[in-house]
Amino acid sequence: MTGEKKHSDLSSRLIKRSAKIASRSTKAPSSTAAISAPPKAATAPDKAKKEEVQRRKNPFNDMLLNKTGKESTTTTTTTTASPPASLEPESITHKRHSSSSSIQDDQAADRLVELERALALAREEQSELKEELGRVRKHSVVYRETIADYRQQLTEAYSRSPLSDTPERDTSPMEDVDHDISERHSGDHQRGDLIEQNYDLREKVAQLQEQMIEQDVLYRARLEQQITRGQTEWNELTGRLHQAEKESQERMQQLLDLKHSISALTRIESQVPDSDVATRMDELCYRIREWVISNYRRAKLNFVHLSPSTMQALEFICPKYRDIDLADRLAFYQAIVFSNLMQIFREPIWIGLPDSGPLAHIRHAAMYLLDTGTDFHEWRRTTIRALEKSHAKQELEQERNIVLQNMVAKIHRQLHELTSTVPTPAAQSSLLGILNQAADLQHMLHLQKAQYRLHLFQHAPGTQVPFDESRMEPINDSDMDDDSYLARTLTFCVFPLLVKFGDEAGENLQIQNVLLKAKVCCGVG
């Protein structure tokens, strides 16, 4: 019925609207037919008014009209036959209509853009509503499932109730109503029990969470206490350790002071143990070997560009230096370095003493009194101490540096002529440090009461020096067999022999003690 009413209302509305349209259409021709064509004089002012209104509404069109008017005047002046004046208003009205139509097109375009934006917004809202509808449907499904679960639980509860076991009997409608009411009350009661159980479980969960939080707080507090306690114990132990170290250092200092006091009472001045002397000599040998290996490892022997002085120095080391095996070339380079260092150890009193001036007499006296016994060594020790305390020490240090610089230049010149290797500044400074160490060692040996002597083995003209195992140590005998090992002879000496004569008091000079064997290269005789 409602559908028929709506259909009848809609049809009546359509009939009314068509009647109105028909009435309008019937009125329009009558009005147009009633109006007659007015005269030209009556229509002119209306057009002028319309043009003024149109100009007021569209000033931009006025600018266009002015421009077009100017262009039309220019075109009329150029042409011979001008168009009639009655055509100008028609062109103006046509341009006005075109400008108004362009404005309407712009407005329609703006309206279309606004409609497109509204359509996009409507589509976005529609998509959001669809998403919301999907979520509502999901929630409704969940709600339905929960309701079904509750219903199943209620049915199970009803099936377990004693009322379900009673036999069927004929009941009246009032009894059925009472039975339904009682079942509802029992269902409400069971639902209330379930709610209470749910609340109880939630309360237990909350209690467990509170208990966990309390235990966590308690554990953190205990952990912080243990950390602070451990930190305090650590600080205490660290303080005790520092105190113990301080006390041990104080005790060590006291022990050193006691040793110094005892040595001051019973000391022999400037005396160094034999082990220290041997260690320092061995360190000097090691530094020379490392310097040669690092700077002349790839250098080869070349005897073409040797000067006479270099040839004489090489013959002093080994008369048959041209027959040296290539495997022994590094040892030969070390022998060249140490043969020049022997000039330092042969100095009678102080390296750097000048040959002229007042200090030259000390050097001449030392050379004259050399090897005269214990008294000479005592005089030399006393003279060295006096020179160390005098104002001439600075001058002696300068002279010593000059002598060592000249020795560095001489060694590099000999090695350059033999290997054609240009020394680097680092190699020169390293060699100067080795020479300074040798000069310090010579200075220490001269301050000892015992006599120390360095011996560099050399070949006498036309003779060969046999290998002495008690005083020599070979450095190239790894490839020799037993027969060659027994028939070994000296090829050249790399590092000298260090021998001590006498004791720490400078007495018993007949006693000899080999502190360091000579390092030599051997050959088969």
Same domain, 422 and 278: yes
Helix (H, G, I), strand (E, B) or coil at 453: strand
- Please say which residue of 209, 234, 258 terminates a domain: 258
Same domain, 462 and 386: yes
**Widest Cα–Cα separation across the chain:** 169
Q: Is residue 18 part of a domain?
A: no
> Is the pLDDT at 433 greater than 90, yes or no?
yes
Handedness of CA 106, 107, 109, 114 (dihedral sign): positive
pLDDT at 338: 92
Contact 292, 333 (CB under 8 A): yes
Q: Is residue 388 part of a domain?
A: yes
> Is the pLDDT at 224 greater than 60, yes or no?
yes
pLDDT at 175: 60
> Is the pLDDT at 271 greater than 90, yes or no?
no
- Please say which residue of 258, 284, 300 terminates a domain: 258
Helix (H, G, I), strand (E, B) or coil at 507: coil
The residue range of the domain holding 514 is 273-524
pLDDT at 486: 56
Q: Between residues 413 and 11, which one has the greater pLDDT?
A: 413
Token reading at 269: 């001045």
Same domain, 298 and 361: yes
pLDDT at 265: 60
Helix (H, G, I), strand (E, B) or coil at 468: coil
Same domain, 206 and 252: yes
Concatenate the DSSP letters of all residues of 299-351 into one string.
-----SS--HHHHHHHHHH-TTGGG--GGGHHHHHHHHHHHHHHHHHT-SS-T
User: Checking DSSP bridges between strand 451-455 and strand 497-501, what pairing results, if any?
Assistant: antiparallel
Calpha distance 435→427 (Å, rounded): 12
Contact 499, 466 (CB under 8 A): no
Tens digits of per-residue pLDDT, 112-131?
Answer: 999 999 999 999 999 989 98
Per-residue confidence at 138, pLDDT binned at 50, 70, 90?
A: confident
Burial of 490 (0-12, 13-18, 19+ CB in 10 A): buried
Total domains present in the chain:
2
Same domain, 369 and 460: yes
Q: Is the pTM of this model over 0.85?
A: no
- The residue-averaged pLDDT of 50-59 equals 47
Concatenate the DSSP letters of all residues of 129-194 into one string.
HHHHHHHHHHHHHHHHHHHHHHHHHHHHHHHHSGGGGSPP----HHHHHHHHHHHHHHHHHHHHHH
pLDDT at 263: 65
Q: Is residue 1 part of a domain?
A: no
Same domain, 243 and 217: yes
pLDDT at 449: 83
Q: Is residue 142 part of a domain?
A: no
Same domain, 382 and 429: yes
Calpha distance 343→332 (Å, rounded): 18
Same domain, 253 and 330: no
Same domain, 423 and 279: yes
- The residue-averaged pLDDT of 342-354 equals 87
Same domain, 446 and 486: yes
Handedness of CA 230, 232, 236, 241 (dihedral sign): positive
pLDDT at 275: 86
pLDDT at 78: 41
Calpha distance 414→312 (Å, rounded): 11
Instruction: Give the range with max mean pLDDT: 231-240, 271-280, 364-373.
Output: 231-240
Same domain, 225 and 340: no
